[in-house]
A and B are shown apart, each in its own frame.
Chain A
Amino acid sequence: MHELSLCQALIRQAARVAQEHGAPRITHLHVRIGRLSGVEADLLQQAFSSASRGSIAEGATLHFEHSPVRIHCPACARDAEVEVNRLACPHCDHWQTQLIGGDELLLVSVDLGHEREMEHV
Chain B
Amino acid sequence: MCETCGCAVTDSSSHSHDNTIEVLASLKADNDLTAAHNRAHFNAAGVLVINLMSSPGAGKTSLLEATIEALASRCKIAVIEGDLETENDAERIRAKGVPAVQITTGSACHLDAHMIHHAIHSLPLEDLDLLFIENVGNLVCPASFDLGQHANVALLSTPEGDDKPQKYPVMFRAVDLVLITKTDLLPVLDDFDCDAVADHVKQLANPAPVLRLSAKHGDIAPWLDWLEDKLATRRQKPFTFVAHHHHHTIKPV
* Partner-B contacts on A (CB < 8 A): 1-2, 5-6, 9-10, 12-14, 17, 21, 23, 27-28, 31, 36-39, 71, 84-88, 95-100, 103-114, 117-118, 121
**Besides the contacts A10-B27, A14-B23, A21-B21, what 20 more A-B pairs have beta carbons closer than 8 Å?**
A2-B109, A2-B145, A6-B28, A9-B29, A13-B23, A28-B16, A37-B144, A85-B167, A87-B173, A100-B248, A106-B26, A106-B27, A107-B25, A108-B24, A109-B20, A110-B21, A110-B23, A117-B4, A118-B17, A121-B4
A79 to chain B, nearest CB (A): 14
Whole-angstrom CA separation of A53 from B25 in the bound complex: 22
In Å, the complex CA distance between A23 and B246 comes to 36
> Smallest distance from the beta carbon of B140 to chain A beta carbons, Å?
7
CA of A113 to CA of B169, assembled, Å: 39
> Cβ of B200: which chain A residues have Cβ within 8 Å of it?
85
Return the CB mask of B87-114 against A: 1 if under 8 Å, else 0: 0000000000000000000001110100
- The answer, among A17, A28, A88, A99, for a CB contact under 8 Å with B18, is A28
Q: Are A111 and B18 in contact (CB under 8 A)?
A: yes
Which residues on the B side are within 8 Å of A100 (C-beta)? Answer: 248
Separation of A85 and B203 alpha carbons in the complex (Å): 7
B232 contacts A by Cβ under 8 Å: no
Q: Please, which residue of chain A has its CB at the minimum distance from the CB of B163?
A: A85
In Å, the complex CA distance between A1 and B166 comes to 21
Most A C-beta atoms less than 10 A away, residue of B4, B145, B205: B205
B170: chain A residues at CB < 8 Å are 36-38, 84
Of A12, A21, A37, A85, which one neighbours B30 at CB under 8 angstroms?
A: A12
B236, CB-defined interface residue at 8 Å: no
Q: Which residue of B lies closest to A88 (CB)?
A: B203
Distance (whole angstroms) from the CB of A50 to the closest CB of chain B: 13
Q: Does B229 contact A (CB under 8 A)?
A: no
Question: With A36-B170, A38-B143 in contact, is A5–B112 under 8 Å at CB?
Answer: yes
- Bound Cα distance A21, B23 (Å): 12
Min CB–CB distance A56 → chain B (angstroms): 13
Please name all residues of chain B whose beta carbon is closer than 8 Å to the beta carbon of A23 when the two chains form the complex. 19
B237 beta carbon closer than 8 Å to chain A: no
Q: Which residues in chain B, 149-176, are within 8 Å of chain A measured between CB atoms?
A: 165-167, 169-171, 173
The docked-state distance in angstroms from the alpha carbon of A51 to that of B69 is 45
Q: Which residues of chain B have C-beta atoms less than 8 A from A2's C-beta? A: 108-110, 140-141, 144-145
In contact, B17 and A114 (Cβ under 8 angstroms): yes
